[in-house]
Amino acid sequence: MNKYKLEPQRSAEIYTITDENDFLNNVHGRFPFVQRTQCNVSYFAYCPFCLNPIQLVSYTGSVRAHGKHIGNGKKVLYFKWDYDRYKYCPYASHKPYVLIEDNERLENLVDNILYMYSLLKENFDKVKYVIEITLGMSFSKSFWKESIDLFLNSRAYMSPYLTERNLPYIFLYFAMQHQSIYGQIISENSIFFCALKDYADLDLTKVYSRQNTEYYKISGPKRYIELRLRLYDYKQQAVNGEDISESMVAAIDERISGKTLFEGRIILSADFFDNLVKKKDTFRDEKILEMASENIPVLKLR
């Protein structure tokens, strides 16, 4: 992989491996990142996804310096292993991609999970923003409240696939699954727009324009239509060992007829949310933050 962290924390900064000298400068030659034995010297850091130890491999020749997971179970001075997370790490996987298994949960409520839980609570307006931009839709406050309940009840914050970067997408996948989208707002740029516009039983009513984009309310001229979001095939892959690329299929089904109006794969941005969280001077949606604060209880280490 071409990324590493210097602390086994979800909040820790992610660095890019360029070459051995750059790595040495960054760690100031310190233990435990630099470990010497009588006959050689090894370099270590943390995997940005699973936070397990990785070794910097640097050959002279055509292969670029990169990080590699150390064999499962092999001990490295100072570094701790978390086998649970290692099992699910796309960087460690020998398969072309890791497919999210819906029912997998980590067993222990550790600091890193608490961190992501508070990240959700304190940045819920930004989580909402990333999801709305990704789907080209805008959802009501009650929709979000219901989604939070689903997320908490399914204990999706314990999913081993969750990171500080994909939090909005994991939220979308677990909390908005099978939610009804009737009555919500859709942008003309949404991947779902044409399919909904062409569906005879629906009547999209223009509600407003923003930045030259028109927004419509999803409703039916005659009757309530039960349209539901369906999300599946969530993949995480480390393409050529570089940034983790994530994607999922989003579909809209009409529940009574069972007809699928649209389905398509959406590619998820690796750093959209992370950049948004780091940006301190952005507009904050206080009403949504207040709702999140009321509905997401404090989680404590057991």
Q: Which of 49, 129, 143, 169 binds Zn ion (CB under 5 A)?
A: 49
Write down the H helix ranges in 46-198.
83-87, 111-122, 124-135, 141-153, 167-175, 193-197
Shortest reach from residue 8's CB to Zn ion, in Å: 11
* Nearest in space to 216 (alpha carbons), one of 191, 188, 194: 188
Minimum distance, C-beta of residue 88 to Zn ion, in the bound complex (Å): 9
Of 156, 180, 181, the C-alpha closest to 170 is 156
The answer to the question of residue 50 lying near Zn ion (CB under 5 A) is: yes
Amino acid (one-letter) located at 265: R
CA distance 71 to 242: 19
Which of these segments, 10-18, 43-51, 120-128, 180-188, binds Zn ion (CB under 5 A)? 43-51
Q: Does 268 bind Zn ion (CB under 5 A)?
A: no
Of the pair 92, 204, the CB lying nearest Zn ion is at: 92
For tokens 């600091």, what's the residue? Answer: 111
What's the min distance (Å) between Cβ of 46 and Zn ion? 8
Nearer to Zn ion, 16 or 142 (CB): 16
Of 55 and 184, nearer to Zn ion (C-beta) is 55
Q: In this chain, which of 17, 27, 45, 47 binds Zn ion, going by CB under 5 A?
A: 47
Instruction: Report the residue number, 47 or 227, with the smaller CB distance to Zn ion.
Output: 47
Using CB under 5 A as the binding rule, the residues of this chain from 76 to 95 that contact Zn ion are 89, 91-92
Nearer to Zn ion, 8 or 168 (CB): 8
d(CA 283, CA 71) in angstroms, rounded, equals 45
The DSSP string of 146-162 is HHHHHHHHTTGGG-TT-
Site track 196-235 with Zn ion (rule: CB under 5 A), x = hit = ----------------------------------------
Asked if residue 32 has a cis previous peptide bond (ω within 30° of 0), the answer is yes
Q: How far is the CB of 85 from Zn ion (least distance, A)?
A: 7
Of 216, 290, 225, 280, nearest in space to 256 by CA: 225
Q: How many residues of this chain bind Zn ion (CB under 5 A)?
A: 6
Helix (H) or strand (E) holding 11: none
Q: Is 30 helix (H, G, I), strand (E, B) or coil?
A: coil
- Between 50 and 186, whose beta carbon lies closer to Zn ion? 50
